[in-house]
Amino acid sequence: GEDVEQSLFLSVREGDSSVINCTYTDSSSTYLYWYKQEPGAGLQLLTYIFSNMDMKQDQRLTVLLNKKDKHLSLRIADTQTGDSAIYFCAADGGATNKLIFGTGTLLAVQP
């Protein structure tokens, strides 16, 4: 079935780069998304990438997509303490509009 997997936890120092990885199984996914969730809050869309792209850069965020391996990554440059949150990778469910989410990666930024 459809599945999205992420590592559970990442700890970095302020100013370093963070790389959060994700793998997905549905090869028909057209768009792949990264969402951020702060404690007690809803989901904030950070960025997304179309499946025929390899890379997308948006200010401090860089998304890399390896469609052959179904691997997605999010790089945050110059990570700040305000970036501490849970990051979710999501894939659209092919022909439907539903999103399939991973379990989330908790990013802890140490000052």
Partner 1 sequence: ETGVTQSPTHLIKTRGQQVTLRCSSQSGHNTVSWYQQALGQGPQFIFQYYREEENGRGNFPPRFSGLQFPNYSSELNVNALELDDSALYLCASTIGGVGETQYFGPGTRLLVL
Pairing mode, if any, of strands 31-37 and 85-92?
antiparallel
Work out whether 43 is an interface residue with partner 1 (CB under 8 A): yes
Whichever of 2 and 78 has its CB closer to partner 1, that residue is 2
Work out whether 44 is an interface residue with partner 1 (CB under 8 A): yes
Write down the residue that tokens 């869309």 correspond to.
45
Count, residues near partner 1 per rule CB under 8 A: 25
Of residues 50 through 79, those in contact with partner 1 by CB under 8 A are 50
* Of positions 54, 78, 98, 108, contacts partner 1 by CB under 8 A: 98
Work out whether 4 is an interface residue with partner 1 (CB under 8 A): yes
Whether 77 and 62 have beta carbons less than 8 Å apart is answered as yes
Pairwise CA distance, residues 49 & 100, whole Å: 15
Pairwise CA distance, residues 34 & 4, whole Å: 12
Taking the complex as a whole, the smallest distance from the CB of residue 111 to partner 1 amounts, in Å, to 25
Whether 42 and 33 have beta carbons less than 8 Å apart is answered as no
Residues in touch with partner 1 (CB under 8 A):
4, 30-31, 35, 41-45, 48, 50, 88, 90, 92-93, 95-104
